[in-house]
Structure 1
Amino acid sequence: MLPARPQARHCAARGDVHKPSSIVGGGICALVVIRQYTFKEEAVQSTFGMVLIKEYQVLLPCSVEEYQVGQLFSVAEASKNNTGGGEGIEVLRNEPYEKDGEKGQYTHKIYHIHSKVPSFIQMFAPEGALVFHEKAWNAYPYCRTIVTNEYMKDDFFIKIETWHKLDMGTTENPHGLSPEEWEEAEVVPIDIADRSQVDDVDYKPEEDPAIFHSEKTGRGPLGPGWKKELHNSNCPYMTAYKLVTVHFRWWGLQGRVENFIHKQEKRLFTNFHRQLFCWLDRWVNLTMDDIRRMEEETQRELDLMRNEGSVRGMKAGED
């Protein structure tokens, strides 16, 4: 049997944004405003009051090293699948960074997502307000994403931090939250092979790990007992621990919006990692040099696609 997972807890967490001891981002858009942010997050000067924190755990049948390539490949593909009709992703910068002993890849993207938010948010957002600047520091195996919105400012933030670890979801509190924060956070396991975790509107047979078989690696399909089988096989494995902090401070909408965002983050993480596994044969033999060339090509494609055709990709339903 698999080692026991940490028990899920649920409560709206309180206090300042956590400063970790040591992402590419975890969703189509993560929204955050943090004053005086440093690479190590040693100088967070804002107090946001009530926030909602959840840790999403995604067990995957690949190694930590494989996932680094697979994640970047899948981010590029997902970006193209969600760009068109005047909306989508615009890449401004994608370059190496080094700061205070931390080094990795820095990206700055703009997300144009007006039609991808529910109507109850569109009602309060004037034209041009639903444009977000995402800044991500990918110091793999640790990643962090910060996104700002000029209109909502401190009233609206999401922060996503991810640790990728060689385990089966058994690491307790991998982000080093304080005992009080960890007690109030909710742990949410995601099973990429569980059809019941996928919205009907999102389901595609070609992106179903319960059906997919990798010709290059022999992995899949993932049956109901795939986690137990993974534990007893020679197949590589790892867990992505994605800590999501959500805050929204508009009177009368706070709880509704924060819960809606977490629902969408879980949906994004589930769909993305199902795709990542089912695209395994497309990326498993790629190198990081291949990925960087692909990212440059994708950046050019996105610039063309954004202003052509109709809106593409996942849309948010109502809560």
Structure 2
Amino acid sequence: MLLKEYRICMPLTVEEYRIGQLYMISKHSHEQSSDGEGVEVIINEPYESAVHGEGQYTEKRVYLNRKLPAWIRGFIPKIFYITEKAWNYYPYTVTEYTCSFLPKFQIRIETKFENNNGCNAQVFRDKPTPEEDVCFIDIATDDITEGYYKKSEDLRSFHSAKTGRGPLLDNWRETSEPIMCSYKLVAAKFEVYGFQSRVEGFVHKNIRDILLAGHRQAVAWMDEWYGMSLEDVRKFERKLQEETNCKVNCQKKTQDSKNDAKLNNGGGRHSISRSTSWNNGTEPCSYSATNGPADIKPRHRLPSAPE
């Protein structure tokens, strides 16, 4: 298991981000859902815990096969999904991810939000997280992958008309008021012989990119959600949830119909024929033995604010 703590600051208060987070997740999921891939919401309902009190439970299926690198696509079926289960007791949340195809794969994210600039070294445990396992993410200056970059979301040139906040210049985390920090303790586990370190490292690399893009969007979209009530943003969430589910399911049905037609015509092929070593972790996968290790090609990255 590979464990890291991420700290992401934003020029918001914890109470403001409660609205911004719900808005950002709904809009981002809607934007990323197309062609049968994206986020399908299965459950979204109130939930009460004896320890944490009232909250919200959500369960989603994330279809993303074509977003994976080629070296992973070679080992999985064309149709699979990640299950996301989240317990939101804001300002504390727990999110778990499991895979429909890989039972030994799991991600657990524990999140706490505080009104500070990331200076709390003991937010999760009695002892501080080791420094080598702490990663600060700067939403204004960190490089972002090309696929996530949008000029309208560049926070070094962003200015909020409603709040007057921005742009975020050098040392903004020391000078901004208000400021809050999203603390995330992320554990990635993939206990399969020969692939564990590689997959867990890949997961953390992508989680970092997603956290950077998502928190940038929450700030860049501030003028869209600022002033909304919790009831307002829940209505927005339900509306986009219905539209997103429709986008994903309609495309999935179309693709399933095409696949059925191919099979009926005798032209279909099995999408995968693999060893069971993925499930029991006792046998090395034959792919690496015959083809050698596949190098992960680095993705082109863009600076947050290109000159």
For normalisation by structure 1, the TM-score amounts to 0.75
> Could you say which residue in structure 1 is the equivalent of 2:130?
183
The question of 1:204 aligning with 2:150 is answered yes
Pick from 166, 169, 173: which aligns with 2:122? Answer: 173
Cα separation, 2, equivalents of 1:288 and 1:74: 13
1:160 alignment partner AA: I
SS at structure 2 position matched to 1:84: coil
1:55·1:185 contact (CA, 8 Å) conserved in 2? no
Pick from 34, 37, 54: which aligns with 1:87? Answer: 37
Instruction: Provide the alpha-carbon RMSD of the alignment.
Output: 1.9
> Could you say which residue in structure 1 is the equivalent of 2:22?
72
> Could you say which residue in structure 1 is the equivalent of 2:101?
151
> Could you say which residue in structure 1 is the equivalent of 2:139?
192
1:110 alignment partner AA: R
Structure 1 residue 292: deviation in Å? 1.0
Cα separation, 2, equivalents of 1:120 and 1:177: 40
Cα separation, 1, equivalents of 2:55 and 2:170: 37
For normalisation by structure 2, the TM-score amounts to 0.78
> Could you say which residue in structure 2 is the equivalent of 1:28?
none
Structure 1 residue 249: deviation in Å? 1.8
2:13·2:115 contact (CA, 8 Å) conserved in 1? yes
SS at structure 2 position matched to 1:202: coil
- Per-residue Cα deviation, 1:83-106 (whole angstroms, up to 9, x for no partner): 010111111111110121422011
Moved more, 66-75 or 99-108: 99-108
> Could you say which residue in structure 2 is the equivalent of 1:110?
61
Residue segments in structure 2 that go unaligned for 5+ positions in a row: 255-295, 299-307
Relative to structure 1, the CA distance from residue 101 to residue 225 in structure 2 (aligned partners, 3 Å threshold; closer, same or farther) is closer
Structure 1 residue 250: deviation in Å? 2.1
> Could you say which residue in structure 2 is the equivalent of 1:123?
74
Cα separation, 2, equivalents of 1:277 and 1:94: 24
> Could you say which residue in structure 2 is the equivalent of 1:7?
none
Structure 1 residue 308: deviation in Å? 4.5
Structure 1 residue 226: deviation in Å? 1.5
Residue segments in structure 1 that go unaligned for 5+ positions in a row: 1-50, 311-316
Pick from 210, 218, 231: which aligns with 2:164? Answer: 218
Structure 1 residue 117: deviation in Å? 1.4
- Per-residue Cα deviation, 1:62-109 (whole angstroms, up to 9, x for no partner): 000000000000000100111010111111111110121422011011
Structure 1 residue 175: deviation in Å? 1.1
Relative to structure 1, the CA distance from residue 150 to residue 308 in structure 2 (aligned partners, 3 Å threshold; closer, same or farther) is closer
1:132 alignment partner AA: I
SS at structure 2 position matched to 1:213: coil
- Per-residue Cα deviation, 1:5-44 (whole angstroms, up to 9, x for no partner): xxxxxxxxxxxxxxxxxxxxxxxxxxxxxxxxxxxxxxxx
Cα separation, 1, equivalents of 2:237 and 2:78: 30
SS at structure 1 position matched to 2:209: helix
Relative to structure 1, the CA distance from residue 124 to residue 177 in structure 2 (aligned partners, 3 Å threshold; closer, same or farther) is farther
Cα separation, 1, equivalents of 2:149 and 2:236: 27
Query: What fraction of aligned residue pairs are identical, expressed as a percent?
Result: 38
The equivalences for 1:1-319 within 5 A come to 51-102=1-52, 103-128=54-79, 130-153=80-103, 155-176=104-125, 182-183=129-130, 186-194=133-141, 196-230=142-176, 235-306=177-248, 307-308=250-251, 318=297
